[in-house]
Every structure is written in C-alpha cells, then in structure tokens.
Structure 1
C-alpha cells in the first residue's frame, strides 16, 4: 500500500492526472508536473500506479529541449470500456466506447416504451449483451452502463420520477434492476446532461469553457458544463429548458407548469401543428393517431429542407422558440457556446442552428462582452448514448479502479455518487 502523502487524496490526484493525459492525447511526466503543480516524484508515483492498472502506456519520445527527450504517455484505449444506453420513448440506442471515448459498437431498435419495465429491462439487457458480444469486448474490462433518459429522475436511487410513457414506469428502480440483470454497475442520468458532457470528453470544446447543450429528441432538455463538470443543482434535475414557461397563460403541462417551451417548440408540438394543416398532413401522409413523434417530425423537417412553405414555417417557428430558450440559458449561465444535440436536429439542424444563432446574437445580455457560438454536436443523433458511456468513464477518472492491494472496486452506489 503506498504511503506517500499524495495517496491521502489518491482518487482526486489520480483522476486529475488521468484526465490531463486523456485531454492532451500524449504528454510527458514533466508537462504533467508543470500543469498540475505536483512534484515530479509525485507524478512518477501516480503514473506508475496508472500504468500498473494498464490505463496508461508509454508512447515514444517527445522533442528534446536540450537534454534527454522526454517519454510521452497516453491512454491505453482498450484498458476499459463502457456502455451507453439512450432510453427514449420511441427508440433505444446502445453504444460501446473505449477509454478514449471512441465508439467501437452501436445498435438501435424500436423503443421499449409500450412494454412494462419487467419486460423491457430484460430485453434491453439482452441487447446490451449482444452488442458487447458482437464487439468482442471482455466484460472484465467493462466499467458499467450509463442509462440516460428523460426527467425528472432520482439518479442516485436510479428512479424515473415520471409516469411516462406509462404509469408502470413512474418510481420504478430502472437502474438497480438493470444492474441486477446485467451483473454490472448502472448509472442513471439525464439525456441532455449526458449529451453535454460527451462533447467535452471527445475534445471538441475548450476544457476551460462554460457551455450549454440543447438536446431535442421527443422532448427538449438542456445541460450546462462548467470546466468539465455538469452543473447538477440540488437534485440533478437542472436546466430543464423544455419546461421553461414562455406563456404564463398557456395550457397546463403534465409537469405542472403552464406554457412550457416543449409544448410550443418540441417535435410533438410541431407534429400537432402540422396535423392542423390538412394539405400538409395529406402531402406528408402524417398519422394523426401515432405516438412516434420522432418519425413524423422527421418528415416535416425533410419537407422544410426541400422548400415546402408550410413545413418550413413550422420548423422556423420551433427554432425561434428554441432561440428564446437559448438566450435564457446563455443569460443565466453566461455561456460562450451552445451545442445542438439529439435525433430531432438530424434533418433540419441547419435551420435550427441559423435561427438560434440569430436570436442569441441579437438578444443575449453579454453579447458585447463575448460572442456565443451555436454549433451542432459532433456526436449527432447518438449524443445522449455516447454521453451516457462517457459518464461511466468519467467515474473512472473521479474515483479510479482500486489496485489489487487496495481492496475491491467501488460498488455501484458509490460509482453513482461519484459522477
């Protein structure tokens, strides 16, 4: 057992060093010491521990600055894997990523929304196992599963706190039950928060930035990341921009609020608005009885891209409402970047990006102090699933896996509280 003072705060120090190696791709021990302010002997001890665990490997020599060329370090991508599962009302996406966040396997299928949880979760577990088998991933190297879905939720207890899509899902212990079936830790988190942190891990945003994510699937959610950490709030149900009231006299929302953004701008709202236009409904063959709003919304978005006037009006109206929400979260959190993520941006994302950028440029409070860019997610439609896997990886950076002489790895409950 190491006795150096650094090991009194071992998880934090280890996580900081591992995250720096991840972000830099390749870095020397000297650079790590300079960046962290830790002494070279401390860095050597931490790196030795990470190499013993197989998480870090040496990657050749760097450029000489006059003396012996430094040895470079990098992550060992195949040392650990994680699984991300996006549980949506109409679709499910499963991804497997390595320690560097690179996707190594993916599958998707129709959502399990109409199944009761006791039927849906074993089916979901079977799909996870099949995906791991197809990727030939050793389960001993799998850290766990990041299960991401809509809110509200109790992420520490692993409960969805909403009776959607059916009453049976309300207060059901989805994460503990899935963990029991799979035999591995399962983290429950918000899909928008997961999509937001995924951008950071992949390295497409400045790690020092404060940025937001607007996530749109069947509903609308939001996330904010500050210096690589998701803003959580008191119960991890923060930045729910879909339930910002934009009309105090509007209809009551199932969430309990009135005039919620989601009821004006979300895919379901756009589909309902389209169904009030008989010509557009007939032209696009929209189904007035469907609950698959993602598919119907995609038809409207495609028509908007193709130049249909009515469809374009509906999408632009939705984008203007979202622009209002973007201005709100930018003003609240003083953001410098907004990422658009989720399957509903897949078809008409360019329309949304343009109009939201216009609203932000015109109306943001701090616009004279700094620009705010609106950009599409690099993870596209799979942003939430990839982010779920990333949240599991981030738990490795936060607490680390125990060495053989340090006792067993942390249980799932501790893993949940670490992220």
Structure 2
C-alpha cells in the first residue's frame, strides 16, 4: 500500500535534516532552522525523533553568539550499518560501513563471477554472514546490502541484462536471490553510479556540486551526481561512457555499438595491446590465455610507473582517450569536477589524472566560465563497494524509504532495499 502524501512529506523532511547533520558533522538546531527554512518547533521535533531512534546524539555545546551556547547534534555512527558488495568480472569486494559511511570491515576474493549464480551468490552470502559475525554487528541494525556490478541491468527487477561473464547471469534475479540467502534487503545498482554517490556521502565534494565519476575496473563506466542525487535516465543505465563510440569505423563491441571507448582504453584492451607490443608481454610475464585482466593491468601500470617506455606509452594513450571521454561528460552535463574511481585508476592514477586534466583544461566547452577539477576518489579501489553500501544508507535514511506510517518498513519495488528495522 502506498504511503500517504502527509507521510511522504514527513519522511522527506526527516531525510533532509538527517542529511544536513551528516554533512555538517556537528550542527545546532538553530543552524538547521537557517539551512532548511523550517520552523524551530519542526526542527526540534524532527531532531527529537532522530534521537529517539538512536540515529543522532548530542555533541556538546557550540560557540555562544551572545546568549546561551547552542547544543550541537551529530550522527551516531554505530546506530545503523550497511553492506556493499562489488561483483566484478574478476573480483568480488565486500565492505561493511557504519551510518557515517566509515568502513569497519572488508574482504575480497576472486572467481565468483566465473561461477554460475547458484554457486557464486551463496559464496558471497557466506562471506557477508561471516564478516557481520566477526565485526560483531547486530543484524537488526543492518539496513541492507548494496550489490553493485556492471551494466546494463534492470535495477527494479534486480537482474543483470548482460551474458557476461557467462550466459547464466543474463536475466538472473541476483538481488532477490541474495536477499533470500541473507535474509536482508538487497538493492542492485551500477558500480559507477555507486562510486559517484560515495564521494558525496564521504564529504569529498561540495554538496551543491554537479560532478561526474569515471569508474574503471575491468571495463569503464560513468556516473553523474547533481545536488546529491545520481542522474538515472529512463532505466538507470545512464552515462555509460565506456560504450560511447570513439571510432565510427571501429570493431563491433559486445554491446552492439561500434568503436566503443572501452575497447580502446579499458584495462582488458590495454593488456591485449601489451601482448602484441614486441617484448613487453614477455617482460611483464603476461598470460596470453588468461582472463584476469585486473591483475595483468596492474603489472602493466606498475611498469609504466617505474618508467618502462612501452608500458607508459600504452597507459598515456589510454589516458588520452579517457580525457576525450571526460571532455564529453563535462560538455554534456556542465560538470565542475570529474572523479577517477576504481581499482584500475588506483594503480595508475597519477598518469591518468595528469593527462585527463590536461585534456579537460584544453577542450572543455565551458572552460572560460569555470574550471573543472580531475581528482582521485577518496575511496580508492573500493569506491564501488563503499558506494553500494552508501546507496543503501541514502535510500533508507535520507530518501524517506526507511519507515512507514505505522512504524514498519515502507513499501518498495523489487530489487530495491526495503527495511525491516525501524529507522
């Protein structure tokens, strides 16, 4: 049953106030009144509710402006937790974060995506259960799991719409199945979108900023955030920068397009290029028959960082292509910041950052109106997994989906997190 308009208004107000407290670290009720335009009694009631629910605590006194010093409030990080699961072609990363988005546990392992889902997902669930137990996280405080992966995907149905890495994953209800295994709500989302929103939650960008994220693991993805909200498009498969054509006469991509950026600048493409570069593949001991492109790319990046001219040439060529992609993103969305996130940027970030910044400075359409910064992610190689956990926090706590008018879980669509805990 849908929530009433009155309840929807209450939850949005509650979410707005909680997000302001999160972003400010510590803040007074007077400052919340000024920031929201709400009345002092309304702010007092909302803060009281948040404190009763344990989400907010008092944090001492602020500086006096002539009268009684104001009482400050802040988030109570151990009040709630969420789990982020990044399912990559070659790697699975799992993190647990608290209400402030701080990572309290992490693990990673390979091979899940090469298994059929009926084998891979129980392995993921077992790891999550073990981590929660080891970290002594009370299960009723866990809001849910953010499962992030590459696209395309049907976010509402909680299913991947790609046969990669094997045909068994195409259309498989990964979110519902993992939720069944864990007994926790699971939200499926795009890894690049997750990495992008993670930057906002962690306080790495101005809350009013319009910024983009280029995410690079085995492939290349993108995300755009406007005033703290991910730009979704019509099916939540937006800003797939890796599948923008950079050569109209190029080879056909697995996505059906021609000359996709990913096939020229992505880690898998660079490993293949290295194998055909005389002497380079042998020097780096690259495996011509291997499919662990993340590990192979890390070797290539390490050689580039160490000054190997052939390896550096390949990385710089990739960075130049990504610079063109960044210019496209900034021109389409008028961005002020481009964040570089994901494990592949983590191992070769300095080269990419320098070259991409150079291209953005030289070619961006609005460069005379404002600068565009190219910066590394604050979450490094775990940006997508942390972002997945953050998407659950945002969905349940700041977008008003956490509690219905009767105090129970608010309704949600299939594949989206629905909380069984009162928030």
User: Normalising TM by the smaller chain, what interval?
Assistant: over 0.9
Aligned to 2:161: 161
Aligned to 1:398: 399
In 1, the alpha carbon distance for the partners of 2:205 and 2:290 equals 38
Aligned to 1:35: 35
The 5-angstrom pairing of residues 258-407 of structure 1 reads 258-395=258-395, 396-399=397-400, 401-402=402-403, 406-407=406-407
Aligned to 1:73: 73
Task: Tell whether the 8 Å contact from 1:6 to 1:42 is kept in structure 2 after alignment.
Answer: no
Task: Tell whether the 8 Å contact from 2:186 to 2:417 is kept in structure 1 after alignment.
Answer: no
In 2, the alpha carbon distance for the partners of 1:181 and 1:310 equals 47
In 2, the alpha carbon distance for the partners of 1:103 and 1:413 equals 28
The Cα shift of 1:416 comes to 2.0
Runs of 5+ consecutive residues of structure 2 not aligned to the other structure: 419-423
The Cα shift of 1:407 comes to 3.3
The Cα shift of 1:49 comes to 0.9
After superposition, the Cα gap between the structure-2 partners of 1:415 and 1:88, relative to the gap in structure 1 and judged at 3 Å, is: closer
Q: Secondary structure at the match of 2:294?
A: helix
Alpha-carbon displacement from aligned partner over 1:80-121 (angstroms, at most 9, x marks no partner): 000000000101100000000110100111131211000111
In 1, the alpha carbon distance for the partners of 2:100 and 2:163 equals 36
Task: Tell whether the 8 Å contact from 1:186 to 1:412 is kept in structure 2 after alignment.
Answer: no
Q: Which moved more, 1:183-192 or 1:7-16?
A: 7-16
In 1, the alpha carbon distance for the partners of 2:390 and 2:318 equals 30
Q: Which moved more, 1:188-197 or 1:126-135?
A: 126-135
The Cα shift of 1:239 comes to 0.3
In 2, the alpha carbon distance for the partners of 1:360 and 1:401 equals 40
In 1, the alpha carbon distance for the partners of 2:8 and 2:29 equals 21
In 2, the alpha carbon distance for the partners of 1:54 and 1:60 equals 17
Q: Say if 2:78 is the partner of 1:64.
A: no
Alpha-carbon displacement from aligned partner over 1:162-199 (angstroms, at most 9, x marks no partner): 00100000000000110011001000000000000000
Task: Tell whether the 8 Å contact from 2:8 to 2:400 is kept in structure 1 after alignment.
Answer: no
In 2, the alpha carbon distance for the partners of 1:72 and 1:60 equals 6
The 5-angstrom pairing of residues 213-292 of structure 1 reads 213-292=213-292
Q: Secondary structure at the match of 2:367?
A: coil
Task: Tell whether the 8 Å contact from 2:144 to 2:417 is kept in structure 1 after alignment.
Answer: no
Q: Say if 2:90 is the partner of 1:90.
A: yes
Task: Tell whether the 8 Å contact from 1:301 to 1:348 is kept in structure 2 after alignment.
Answer: yes
What is the number of residues matched between the two proteins? 414
Task: Tell whether the 8 Å contact from 1:327 to 1:359 is kept in structure 2 after alignment.
Answer: yes
Q: Secondary structure at the match of 1:278?
A: coil
In 1, the alpha carbon distance for the partners of 2:402 and 2:344 equals 37
The 5-angstrom pairing of residues 160-179 of structure 1 reads 160-179=160-179
After superposition, the Cα gap between the structure-2 partners of 1:414 and 1:45, relative to the gap in structure 1 and judged at 3 Å, is: farther
Runs of 5+ consecutive residues of structure 1 not aligned to the other structure: none
Q: Secondary structure at the match of 2:215?
A: strand
In 2, the alpha carbon distance for the partners of 1:272 and 1:338 equals 27
In 1, the alpha carbon distance for the partners of 2:141 and 2:342 equals 28
| RMSD of aligned Cα (Å) | 1.6
Runs of 4 or more, structure 1, over 6 Å off, are: none
Task: Tell whether the 8 Å contact from 2:176 to 2:415 is kept in structure 1 after alignment.
Answer: no
With the length of structure 1 as denominator, give the TM-score of the two structures.
Answer: 0.96
Aligned to 1:147: 147
